[in-house]
C-alpha cells in the first residue's frame, strides 16, 4: 500500500480546477464581449453542422456534448427560439425529434468561431510549447479514458 495520496497529485488537481475556472470564464467573457452567446451554444451548433443533412437526435447531441437531457432539452429550446436550430418530427421514432441547424445557425457558428479560435490561441497556443501541448493532450486523454471504467 502506497502513500494515501501524493501531495503532487493533489497539487495537480487543484491547479487543474483553477485553470479550468479561469480559462472558461475568460473564453465566456470574450464571447460575451463580442455580443455572442455562450460556449455551450457553439458546441451544439458545431455538432449539428457536422450532420447538416441528417440532423441529430437530441440524445445524440447529448452524448457528444456531454450534456444530460434535462439541460439539453431547454438549451435546444433557446437555440430554436433564436432560429439557430429547428426540430423536426422523427419518422422512425414518434417520441423524439430530429434537430437540424438552420442557415442562421450556420451563420452564428461562423461568427463565433473566430472569437473562440483567438481565445484558444491566446489562452493555450501562445503559452505552451508544442511539446507541452502534446503532453497535455496525452494526459487529458488518459484522464478521460479512466473515467469510463468503474
* CA dihedral sign of residues 85, 89, 94, 95: positive
Sole window of 4-12, 46-54, 70-78, 112-120 interacting with DNA (rule: CB under 7 A): 70-78
Helix axes 39-49, 69-81, angle to 10 degrees: 80
Q: Kindly state whether residue 81 participates in binding DNA, applying the rule CB under 7 A.
A: no
* CA dihedral sign of residues 52, 57, 63, 66: positive
Q: Kindly state whether residue 29 participates in binding a second copy, applying the rule CB under 8 A.
A: no
Residue 78 or 104 having the CB closest to DNA: 78
- The interface with DNA within residues 113-142 (CB under 7 A) comprises none
Which of 3, 7, 95, 149 forms a contact with DNA (CB under 7 A)? 95
Place of cell 467573457: 29
Q: How far is the CB of 86 from a second copy (least distance, A)?
A: 26
Q: Which residues bind DNA (CB under 7 A)?
A: 25, 29, 32, 38, 40, 57-59, 62, 67-78, 87, 90, 92-97
Amino acid at each position: 500500500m502506497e502513500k494515501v495520496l501524493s501531495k503532487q497529485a493533489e497539487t495537480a488537481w487543484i491547479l487543474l480546477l483553477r485553470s479550468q475556472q479561469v480559462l472558461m470564464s475568460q473564453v465566456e467573457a470574450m464571447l460575451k464581449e463580442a455580443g455572442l452567446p455562450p460556449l455551450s451554444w457553439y458546441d451544439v451548433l458545431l455538432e449539428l453542422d457536422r450532420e447538416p443533412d441528417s440532423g441529430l437526435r437530441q440524445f445524440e447531441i447529448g452524448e457528444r456534448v456531454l450534456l444530460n437531457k434535462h439541460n439539453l432539452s431547454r438549451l435546444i429550446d433557446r437555440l430554436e427560439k433564436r432560429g439557430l436550430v429547428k426540430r423536426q418530427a422523427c419518422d422512425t421514432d414518434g417520441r423524439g425529434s430530429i434537430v437540424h441547424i438552420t442557415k442562421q445557425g450556420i451563420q452564428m457558428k461562423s461568427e463565433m468561431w473566430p472569437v473562440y479560435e483567438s481565445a484558444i490561441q491566446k489562452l493555450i497556443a501562445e503559452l505552451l510549447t508544442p511539446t507541452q501541448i502534446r503532453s497535455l493532450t496525452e494526459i487529458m486523454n488518459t484522464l478521460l479514458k479512466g473515467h469510463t471504467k468503474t
